[in-house]
Amino acid sequence: MDPTVISTAPLAKPEAPRRLSLRAPLDLLFLFCCLLLTADVLIPEIFGHGKTKDYGLWYWAGQQVLQGRPLYPGDISDYFEFIYPPLPAVLLAIPSWFGKIPLYVVLSILNAVAWWCTGTFSQVMAGSDRRAGPWLEALPAFVTVTFVFDMFDLGQPNLVLLAMMLYGFWSLRHQRPWLAGFMFALATAIKVFPIAVLPYLIWRRKWAAVVATVAFIGILLYVVPAPIRGFERNAAELATWYQAMVGSSSEKGFGQRGEQNWSWVNQSLIAVTHRLVRPINYNLEDPSKPPRTMNVIDVDYRTANWIVLALSALLGLGFIAIMPRQAPRTARSDAEELGILFCLMTIASPLARQYYFMWLFFPMTVLMHRAAFDARANVRLGTWLALGAAGILMLLSLPWFPNVIQAWGNNLVATAILAGSLAWHIRHPPVAAGPEAAPALKAQTP
């Protein structure tokens, strides 16, 4: 194997995330990158015309809470500036009290901490019997750096949510189901799509985590904002948000961003399927562009929804089919299983813009460990090739490539390649390959 990706040092405390070290050159590079990304946020605000993207919206939401003003319009058909539940606005109000720059600094620090935690938790949960050397440890961060840039530049919370979910699963493996449930609930209360973890927890019979997740979702959505917004007002705003964002769906779109739902910017399973089976203008987000369609068949809206439902059921049943039963589970298979779950959660979100695919960080980390450490040379090569194919597909989202490539779902296909590779590894562990396979892969599972 390549000695640059393998550390011969003894393993530290099992599954203990590594701490940042000012003596490690790559850790210093990480801090330097965080400073540059934070500068991208602060310099336009301090020396320019103000930071754009979603930062102004977060300040507005915090100020609405501080001044006791409504977060949503009274009519759910009106345009919603803030499309998240009330809890995030309450959380944003704390740093917003000090002004825009302190708020932006806090958000940048959260992204930096989440970036570090995502990397370290991904490494310790990769299910490998070897510890990655510095170059292999840095590789997932390098290949996803454009997604991280989007997190800082746009001010979106998806990287923070990913760190929360990884910490939740790490806690679950360490027999802390209530802490895990809290992290899953907090991620869900900020941006709803992490709720997709609940069916997985139920299937794996993590009952304490299921109860904790449901209980904390209720507490975070209804109880925590109540002292600030008032119980009745918070309940009414939550109902308004639910009707506008979750309970509304039609041929024109769902939620409050119909122009994004069906356009090329959305690479969710729902959106790509609808674009393939219905004559939808994938340039909806930009009215200045001529209408373009890409459907291969022409069905009505209801039939398209049935196709989405059928595909979702097939994916879910396929996931269940390849998941090992309790007895043959290993730390290795658990990592691969969790990687597939993160792939499915990413594409299952109704709206999956480019930065949502930051969640592929963990699946790619797991596959990189397999590509570096698997005992079978042909498997290592095949895994690197799969990673390379997925990487090339994701590069096609860069601005100088035509948008039609994203309309066809290049990131969605890349996700499918990663999930398929992980599924292959689950079904073909090295212990079944012969006596040369790596020993000691069996581990206790929660």
What are the pLDDT digits (tens) for 195-224?
Answer: 999 999 999 999 999 999 999 999 999 999
Q: What is the DSSP secondary-structure string of 236-304?
A: HHHHHHHHHHTS-EETTEETT-HHHHSSTT--SHHHHHHHHHS---TTTT-TTSPP----SS---HHHH
What b/e string do you get for 168-180 counting C-beta neighbours within 10 Å, with b at 16 or more? Answer: bbbbbbeebbebb
Are the beta carbons of 442 and 359 closer than 8 angstroms?
no
pLDDT computed for residue 202 by the predictor: 95
Supply 433's token pair. Answer: 């390959």
| pLDDT, tens only, 52-85 | 788 999 999 999 999 999 998 877 778 888 889 9
Residue 59 is classified by DSSP as: H
Alpha-carbon torsion angle 272, 278, 281, 285, nearest 10: -40
Give yes or no for a contact between 324 and 337, defined as CB atoms under 8 angstroms apart: yes
Instruction: Tell me which amino acid residue 161 is.
Output: L
Tokens of 350: 């109704």
pLDDT of 40: 93
Do residues 355 and 145 lie in contact, with contact meaning Cβ atoms separated by under 8 Å?
no
* In the block, residue with structure tokens 């790619």: 364
- Whole-angstrom distance, CA of residue 317 vs CA of residue 311: 10
Identity of residue 348: A
Residue 12 pLDDT > 80: no
Strand partners, 253: 250
* Tens of pLDDT, residues 400-430: 899 999 999 999 999 999 999 999 999 999 8
Mean pLDDT of the chain: 88
Alpha-carbon dihedral sign for residues 416, 419, 421, 427: negative
DSSP H stretches of helix in 329-376: 331-348, 361-373
Confidence of residue 178 (pLDDT cuts 50, 70, 90): very high
Tell me the per-residue pLDDT of 244-301, one tens digit each, with 9 for 90 and over. Answer: 877 666 666 666 666 678 899 999 999 999 999 999 998 888 888 888 999 999 999 9
Greatest Cα-to-Cα distance within the chain, rounded to the nearest angstrom: 68
The angle, 0 to 180 degrees and rounded to 10, between the axes of the packed helices 100-124 and 145-154 is 150
CA distances from 110 to 157, 159, 164, 316, 352 (A): 9, 9, 11, 33, 22
pTM for this predicted structure: 0.90
Per DSSP, the three-state class of 12 is coil
Distance CA 379, CA 436 (A): 13
pLDDT score, position 253: 63
Region 97-101 average pLDDT: 94
Distance CA 236, CA 17 (A): 42
CA distance 419 to 397: 19
Domain ranges of the chain: 21-248, 264-437
Instruction: Name the band, by pLDDT with cuts 50, 70 and 90, for residue 6.
Output: very low
How many Å apart are CA 326 and CA 322, to the nearest integer? 12
Query: And the tokens for 27?
Result: 């850790």
Residues in the chain: 446
Q: Give the pLDDT of residue 252.
A: 67
